[in-house]
Amino acid sequence: MSKLDILKASLVGLSLCVATTATAEPVKVGMITTLSGGGSGLGIDVRDGFMLAVKQAGNKDLTVVIEDDARKPGLAVQIADKMIQSEKVDILTGIIWSNLAMAVVPGAVAQGKFYISPNAGPSQLAGKGCHPNYFNASFQNDNLPEGMGAYANKIGIKNSFIMAPNYPAGKDVLNGYKRFYKGKLAAEVYTKLGQTDYAAEIAQIRASGADSIFVFLPGGMGISFMKQYAQSGVNIPVTGPAFSFDQGILKAVGPSAVGVKNTSHWAKDLDFPANKPFVTSFEAEYGRLPSLYAVQGFDTANLILSAMSKASVKDMDAFRTALKAADFASPRGKLKFGNNQHLIQTIYVREVIKEGDIYTNKTEGIALENHQDAYAAQCKM
């Protein structure tokens, strides 16, 4: 028996060994997310949603290490390397921003780690760059704006002013809107990522003669824009994907956002069995209402937990199949993955309302039912 044969035999033995202890295999998850600086509210919601699910499951085989990327791509790559090489994590997750995801995900999945996105769905990773180890439990960036585009046709919008920050997700979002929206464009404006003053853009909106504005400005950018827009005296209706009108920022925007129509894959009042318990338990645990980011974190954790109960993470094929089944009840209903391992999900229209003292969203209707992203066909899986 040559040395190679011995090696082969022992490998086979080892894998048998692993197979028999499938469900008790410990899983280590590395979470890289934005916990400081601008946009930290998003990362904190993802983390809190994730940890709520972990706490509720009480599964001792799951350990989570969390690190802050401060929204810096370079730092995120460093943390990912450290987590893969010295922490030896099995699964990576947590990244909020598409530019960071593009810096980390391709390398991580190529090194044989699973990556499950709790936010950020850049088009590159949904189409040609799809990968068997990459799952997206949130949305593809184009999804929500596609819903808004479809809804804009329905309510008779004919001349839209569209605006987003100049980074991968910004472009995806405007492309998504344009894919479904059939009217004219008054203008298409890209702003600097992290910009805080929108006076110049608001002046352009005023002069544009548009009948509606479609904005994608996540986090603090949306707060600044909405407050300044309310002060400007321009009263063209604002629409957008839910990111600029979600729970985390509505408190800071205040009355300026009331009445804004936005599209989302989740709302607090959706009638699914797992939704109400999630909302109440999140509120009880953290003393605030959950945002869509919190839902995505919660679902990511439950997705991992559901796969852990079926397969060992060391057996990548079985674990992948188990992930793909997404066998758990989400606050968004039953989740279903498409061929590119992105979700096929319903996009809802919501309206910002004031409920008692709290600003929140109320579901208005459905924009697109069981919607799949536009890049799935380009993915060879």
Partner 1 sequence: MTSALFIEQLLNGLQFGVMLFLMAAGLTLVFGVMGLINLAHGALYMVGAFACATVANFTGSFWLGLAASIVAAATAGAIVELVVIRRLYKRDHLDQVLATFALILIFSEGTRWVFGSFPLYLNVPDLLSGPVMLPGGIQYSLYRLAIIVIGGLVALGLYFLIAKTRLGIRIRAGESDREMIAALGVDIRLLYTIVFALGAALAGFAGALVGAIQSVQVGMGEPVLILAFVVIVIGGIGSIKGALVGAILVGIVDTMGRFLLPMFFQLFMENAQANSVGSALASMSIYILMALVLIFKPKGLFPAHG
Binding site for partner 1 (CB under 8 A): 35-38, 40-41, 44, 166, 188-192, 194, 196-197, 199-201, 203-204, 206-207, 220-221, 223-224, 227-228, 231-233, 248-249, 251-256, 288
DSSP 3-state of 153: helix
Least Å distance, CB 261 to partner 1, is 22
Whichever of 10 and 36 has its CB closer to partner 1, that residue is 36
Least Å distance, CB 112 to partner 1, is 34
Report residue 324 as tokens. Answer: 């793909």
Whichever of 206 and 324 has its CB closer to partner 1, that residue is 206
Least Å distance, CB 28 to partner 1, is 26
Whichever of 227 and 324 has its CB closer to partner 1, that residue is 227
CA angle 295, 324, 90 (to 5 degrees): 80
Least Å distance, CB 201 to partner 1, is 8
Whichever of 260 and 376 has its CB closer to partner 1, that residue is 260
CA dist 370 and 373 (Å) reads: 10
Whichever of 95 and 189 has its CB closer to partner 1, that residue is 189
Least Å distance, CB 214 to partner 1, is 15
Whichever of 90 and 146 has its CB closer to partner 1, that residue is 146
Return the closest-CA partner of residue 123 out of 176, 80, 165, 166: 176
Report residue 220 as tokens. Answer: 């603090």
First to last CA, the chain: 39
CB neighbour list of residue 339: distance below 8 Å, 6 or more residues apart = 376, 379, 381
The order of strands in the sheet holding 238-241 is 184-191, 159-165, 212-215, 238-241, 261-264, 345-355, 358-371
Whichever of 131 and 268 has its CB closer to partner 1, that residue is 268
CA angle 221, 226, 230 (to 5 degrees): 150
Least Å distance, CB 251 to partner 1, is 6
Least Å distance, CB 25 to partner 1, is 34
Least Å distance, CB 171 to partner 1, is 8
Which run of H or E residues covers position 237?
none
- How far are the Cα atoms of 49, 51, 93, 278, 359 from residue 327, in angstroms, in the given order? 18, 19, 19, 17, 33
Whichever of 111 and 231 has its CB closer to partner 1, that residue is 231
CB neighbour list of residue 11: distance below 8 Å, 6 or more residues apart = none
